[in-house]
Amino acid sequence: MAIPSFRLALFLRSAQATSFRNLKTLKSFYSTSPHLSQDMAVKFVPRPSTERGNADHGWLKSFHTFSFADYQDSQHDQFGSLRVINEDRVEPKTGFGTHGHREFEIFSYVVNGELEHKDSMGNTEVLKRGDVQLTSAGTGIRHSEKTYGSNQVHFLQIWTVPWKNGLTPKYFTRKYSHFSDEEKTDKWVRVVAPVSAPGVADEREGAGPAPVQSPVSLYATMLSPAASLPHTFPATLSADSASPSTARKAYIHVVQTSGYNTKMSSGASVKVTGDDAVLELKEGDGAYIFGEAGKELKVENTGDRVAEVLLFDVE
């Protein structure tokens, strides 16, 4: 069993003190204009898969959107409260041994295979495709994540920075309510949302989105060839959003469903449009998106296969 030492000592620095330093011109424009005009343009900044951090440990193959473990890039540290988007593939009979976390909201989105979760709160669970689980680490938890069964598990682990420190640790699962491929076909399904948002249940096994203590909503879709979906930047994400600014941020990621590929993006492809901005993305690619409440994005499948797409609304 390979136990990743890099995860055990991960993020000793404070994520709250880490600012997202990429895209300085755009960031300055959006952060210094609290009352933006209605004709403010939507802006895209691509994050190609080939430029993500990458690690192949044999038992683990992983891509890192943001600085993580041995991959450090000061231009890709954080985006709003989004701190980690790791796309992991873990071989059978291996996994991440017991290690600790605190002051992060940690959730797993299973793409293929089965993932076994155990933690210091007494939770033991096996997650399959369509399942989502979320750990609010708060003052501190310990957990392990290992492949269950004889097949590789492919999942995305996502971390956000909570609204405040010192929260009581909690565990949430959406295993029993599940988010099926049929439910996500050509529709945005909100799988994670702020705990105080309308329709979000603060229950371990409640229905609907998993509740996160951060101003982040995550939508997922299985987009058919030639299909398209609109998405409107929300006015606010939750009652905890106190800023009067109408500026909004989003992040889009095309899941690498066709296989692990470090050399070039392949597989499914989508086109993202907003105002006059147009961006083509392949599997593994992502993009930082800047816009305004009420503005609309459109995501269109331009390829010959289903595209699994994740879209984050960020504060």
Query: In the structure, what pLDDT confidence band is assigned to residue 207 with cuts at 50, 70 and 90?
Result: confident
pTM for this predicted structure? 0.87
What is the rounded distance in angstroms from the CA atom of residue 18 to the CA atom of residue 83?
Answer: 9
Which of 285, 253, 308 minimizes the C-alpha distance to 49? 285
Residues in the chain: 315
Contact 249, 224 (CB under 8 A): no
Backbone angles phi, psi at 7, to 5 degrees: -75, -25
User: What pLDDT, on the 0 to 100 scale, is given for residue 67?
Assistant: 97
Mark residue 136 as left, alpha or beta (left: phi above 0; alpha: psi -120 to 50; beta: remaining): beta
Nearby residues of 154 by Cβ (< 8 Å), 6 or more positions away: 87, 88, 89, 110, 111, 112, 113
> Does 5 have pLDDT greater than 80?
no
> Does 8 have pLDDT greater than 80?
no
Number of helices followed by number of strands (H, E) in the chain: 3, 22
- Sign, CA dihedral 233-290-53-69, equals negative
Query: In the structure, what pLDDT confidence band is assigned to residue 237 with cuts at 50, 70 and 90?
Result: low
Query: In the structure, what pLDDT confidence band is assigned to residue 95 with cuts at 50, 70 and 90?
Result: very high
Residue-wise burial string across 295-310, b where 16 or more C-beta atoms lie within 10 A, e elsewhere? bebebbbebeebbbbb
More confident residue, 254 or 30: 254
User: What pLDDT, on the 0 to 100 scale, is given for residue 226?
Assistant: 98
Lookup result for tokens 């449009």: 273
What is the rounded distance in angstroms from the CA atom of residue 84 to the CA atom of residue 185?
Answer: 26
* Mean pLDDT for all residues in the chain: 86
**Which whole number is the average pLDDT over 103-116?**
96
Q: What would the pLDDT profile of 128-178 be if each residue is shown by its tens digit?
A: 999 999 999 999 999 999 999 999 999 999 999 999 999 999 999 987 667
Cα–Cα distance list, 159 to 30, 106, 114, 146, 266 (Å): 24, 5, 20, 18, 26
Structural domains in the chain, sorted by start: 43-314 (2.60.120.10)
Number of Cβ within 10 Å of residue 159's Cβ equals 24
